[in-house]
């Protein structure tokens, strides 16, 4: 998998995105990325602020049904659908989805929306094909194998490629690709859901959850807030769960620095210099001395796989697999998604997109227009609504390390109900958990950023606990 982190010093803060490279790239290369942090927190989103376009969806569900994906194992026994939902007919903006019904009593199972982050990365490529979906792409890039820990064992899972320009999602107005941001993504995702429920009306009253990872730490709270503030349509939102959540810039930076130091990747001298000379708080400006230490830190971390500090790199399309994780998985998915027969089976790329499908769109990332400094005010508001709120972290991820989430939770000043304890799966410690007032935090031991890929059994156990509303068993 050719994936690493790109860091950029912009307005005094480090920004992350998945990048098709084996290494960290120099800070200076992305100094001109325009990330506009116009506010400390996210605006209070409401459907009163925009027009929600709703189409007729007669017959579209049947048209979206997938008969079979190329290379799909014959023993697959569940319904799957994919296609487009128009969210703005004036711009010709349409979002692509992939939906898998549960293999066990789908009519009684909840509906779960999964969102990957970036911003600008695909929930189909990463989420469905590399993490929690029913299939994994084999090394040949042409065939699929069964994921025996697929989350559709316990829920109906909906994957959304958002915003327009990500994966197969598109707009007929190219300027839309230069105006994407947190707010527009939330509005389009909400409009997508309203229309998707018209296409699949049997799910309108179903218990609904939103899950995802990384920069979905912005997407998920914003979309949840919009759903709860909506007077347009009733969506039965029961809870949200975010993995390795990018939710607060200050703790993202302090937590990352401490993680690398705790794991003996960065020296005491460099870490002490960063602590002494760097101020990552709201509206602060990094000093030249701070930048010097950050660049020294970069020299230490640049050749380590950011999404799991103990995993090998994907070098020239080959890797040394460890514990079942293959860092070249993204290459296999890239090949599979660009097979014409696969796109035809998925009802994708109907308009002839200008380039090949890719897991992340860096033009979207580079032109991202609004990005609140912190999602904690929105999270605090959601915690008071009564919906279930979980965060979870793979503890070997250095892109959004476990320390960043722990530090962010401290800023919420919430009360501990059940102190930190180990949870178990198959007589092994699966991770650790702590229950707060209106918030549960769970770690997954030995997992990197893409938790269902690194530790699929523990990820499924965690997800099942979340749906049950019970912390993992001690």
| Catalytic residue positions, numbered | 214, 397, 449
Instruction: Spell out the alpha helix ranges (H) of 48-110.
Output: 60-64
Neighbours of 43 (CB within 10 A): 16
Phi, then psi, of 394 in degrees rounded to 5: -75, 135
Residues 413, 246, 448, 154, CA torsion sign = positive
Q: Is 277 helix (H, G, I), strand (E, B) or coil?
A: helix
Q: Which residue has the tokens 């400094």?
A: 373
Q: Which tokens sit at 158?
A: 């909906």
Instruction: Using alpha carbons only, give the angle 31, 293, 251 rounded to the nearest 5 degrees.
Output: 75
Neighbours of 17 (CB within 10 A): 25
* Beta carbons within 8 Å of 360's beta carbon, 6+ residues apart: 17, 18, 19, 20, 118, 120, 121, 122, 166
Q: Which tokens sit at 32?
A: 């001109």
Neighbours of 123 (CB within 10 A): 31
Q: Are 374 and 425 in contact (CB under 8 A)?
A: no
Measure the CA–CA gap between 387 and 392, rounded to whole angstroms.
Answer: 16
């Amino acid at each position: 998998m050719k994936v690493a982190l790109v860091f950029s010093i912009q307005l005094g803060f480090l920004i992350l995105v998945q990048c098709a490279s084996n290494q960290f790239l120099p800070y200076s290369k992305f100094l001109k990325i325009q990330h506009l942090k116009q506010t400390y927190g996210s605006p209070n989103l409401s459907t009163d602020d925009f027009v929600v376009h709703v189409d007729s969806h007669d017959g579209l569900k049947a048209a979206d049904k997938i008969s079979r994906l190329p290379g799909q194992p014959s023993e697959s026994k569940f319904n799957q659908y994919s296609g487009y939902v128009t969210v703005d007919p004036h711009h010709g903006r349409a979002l692509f989805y992939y939906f898998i019904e549960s293999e066990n009593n789908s009519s009684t199972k909840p509906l779960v929306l999964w969102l990957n982050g970036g911003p600008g990365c695909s929930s189909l490529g990463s989420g469905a094909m590399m993490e929690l979906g029913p299939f994994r792409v084999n090394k040949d890039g042409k065939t699929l194998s069964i994921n025996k820990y697929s989350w559709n064992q316990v829920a109906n899972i909906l994957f959304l490629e958002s915003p327009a320009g990500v994966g197969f999602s598109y707009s007929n107005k190219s300027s839309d690709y230069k105006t994407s941001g947190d707010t527009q993504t939330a509005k389009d995702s909400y409009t997508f859901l309203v229309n998707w429920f018209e296409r699949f009306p049997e799910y309108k009253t179903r218990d609904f959850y939103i899950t995802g990872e990384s920069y979905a730490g912005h997407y998920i709270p914003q979309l949840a807030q919009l759903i709860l503030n909506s007077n347009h349509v009733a969506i039965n939102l029961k809870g949200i769960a975010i993995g390795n959540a990018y939710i607060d810039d200050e703790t993202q930076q302090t937590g990352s620095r401490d993680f690398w130091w705790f794991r003996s990747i960065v020296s005491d001298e460099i870490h002490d210099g960063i602590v002494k000379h760097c101020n990552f708080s709201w509206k602060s400006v990094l000093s030249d001395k701070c930048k010097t230490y950050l660049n020294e830190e970069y020299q230490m971390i640049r050749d380590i796989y950011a999404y799991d500090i103990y995993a090998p790199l994907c070098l020239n399309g080959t890797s040394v697999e460890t514990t079942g994780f293959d860092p070249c998985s993204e290459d296999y998915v890239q090949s599979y998604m660009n097979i014409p027969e696969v796109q035809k089976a998925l009802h994708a790329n109907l308009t002839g997109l200008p380039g090949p499908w890719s897991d992340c769109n860096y033009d979207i990332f580079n032109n991202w227009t609004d990005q609140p400094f912190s999602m904690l005010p929105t999270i605090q508001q959601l915690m008071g609504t009564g919906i279930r709120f979980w965060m979870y972290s793979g503890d070997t991820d250095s892109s959004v390390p476990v320390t960043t989430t722990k530090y962010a939770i401290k800023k919420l000043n919430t009360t501990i109900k059940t102190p930190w304890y180990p949870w178990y799966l198959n007589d092994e410690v699966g991770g650790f958990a702590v229950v707060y007032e209106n918030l549960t935090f769970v770690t997954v031991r030995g997992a990197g950023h893409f938790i269902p890929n690194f530790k699929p059994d523990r990820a499924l156990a965690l997800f099942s606990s979340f749906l049950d509303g019970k912390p993992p068993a001690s």
